[in-house]
Structure 1
Amino acid sequence: MTMIEPELSSSVGTATRPTVLMCRPDHFTVRYRINPWMHPQLPTDTGLAVRQWEQLYRTYLDLGYQVHLIDPAPGLPDMVYAANGGFTMDGIAYGARFQYPQRAPEGPLYLEWLAAHGFRPHQAVEVNEGEGDFLPVGDVILAGTGFRSSLASHDELRAVFGREVLSLRLVDPRFYHLDTAVAVLQPAGGPGAIAYLPQAFDEASRTVLAERFPEAIHVGVEDAGVLGLNSFSDGHNVVIAAAAKDFERQLRDRGYVPHPVDLSELLLGGGGVKCCTLELRK
């Protein structure tokens, strides 16, 4: 378990300096199928996954982020997707409780790490997959349901954090976590800018998003289909999938600075930039 203290990059400008938790994909492979992206019959290259992950890791350091690492555990190939390991805000860590048994051991490992690093742990009662489905934007927490996190977990989230939680229902199995269909472009407490794929949501959720975020970027299916929305922003710099070319253009048009990263090997497990990134908020 390591923390790297980075130097501040001149490209950051007025951006925030997030603190994030990551996990090296030393044990990455696709052994089972719990989302449409996973095909166990196809080969995976663990070494390539590690090299691509290291590019993301180095990008964060170059942007001035503080990066912590949790030790990967043998037998848990999806532990690299750190965002699913919990949700942190106000110094509290809300633990993940995974829907599928293959990932269940990850929740306690992440919650133990967070408790050891100064967060007040809250063991979840309801099924939830952490920051994969919970995204703070402005003064509200966007919360996804439909495939992984239960609607009841949204009530638990409200009780734990005392904040407004906006429930959104996902309807396309390719976008099974909220962070595959929504990109938060401004950090919590900011003006609340997002990008999203409208088709990933039911009609009621699309209406809510349109009302709450009238200036949001609408991303096309092609870019969302390479998990382009599974990105990480500090409010100025946005780290995105290298294949999401039109989203990159849209970000530049809005004044953001995109940083494309190729995580094509980790995409075979159904994850991208944001999936590999758990933000630590105290």
Structure 2
Amino acid sequence: MDERLNERLANLLDRLEPLLPPESVPIDWHSDVAALWERHALGGRLVPVVPRDTLQLSALVGIDRQKRALVDNTRAFLAGRPANHVLLWGARGTGKSSVVRALINDLAAEGLRLIQVDRHDLGSLPTLVNRLRDSEYRFVVYCDDLSFESNDDAYKALKSVLDGALTGPPDNVLLYATSNRRHLMPESSADNQETHIENGELHHGDAVEEKISLSDRFGLWLSFYPFNQETYLEACGWWVEQLGGTFDEAAREAAHRHAIARGVRSGRAAWQFAAGWVGDPSHG
């Protein structure tokens, strides 16, 4: 084989290599309870991961209603009963992501398996769902901090999997998503210009209907709001004591100042306060 041909073949391989899928990582759903979905040019692959924390649902203060609804829906799904796709939406730091992550720690023994998909990989979501179709396990496919811009077509893949495809999602797959937006897409005043009243009824324009139609495909909406003062302090006290500290009057006053400085009362703010307070040796 002549040198020129070898050079051309080497150049061709260099160009093809980025298109080849990464080396596959073996996954055993009997022992692997969570995985990441990584998209590549030829589809995607599942990468097993160990959940980064051991957070239990009991640790999440101030969201009892949301926890109960999510656990009930998930347990119905695990038992083979009808269950809904879930959209958890609301203010930042209020427990949306934490409650989904805690599910795997509480319910893995009951058969739950969790797969996280990055928003930028949603275009390959149908590939993932079809790969899971024949598995004996039950999966929650989870997308964190989900939102789309007006010119983003990735939401079409999500709509298709949720409700729009001919076959629909398999019985062993549910989609859970968290978002700061209830309708997942930005809403502008221009969208409302098409709204009109007909026979005494309010009708939205096509732009609004398109944006609403995506979130409508989630059968269960769970809303999360900033904590009031009492709930915030309860969360601060819980975390301070869990971390080995004492939530005395000085800690309460410091927690109150922390919320004012951050401009928010939330579970995340409570955890951050507790970590800083207990970690400071002057408070020991």
TM-score computed with the length of structure 2 as normaliser: 0.25
Q: Which has the higher contact order (CA 8 A, sep 6+)?
A: 1
Q: When you count helix as a share of all residues, which structure comes out higher?
A: 2
Q: When you count strand as a share of all residues, which structure comes out higher?
A: 1
**Larger Rg computed on CA atoms:** 2
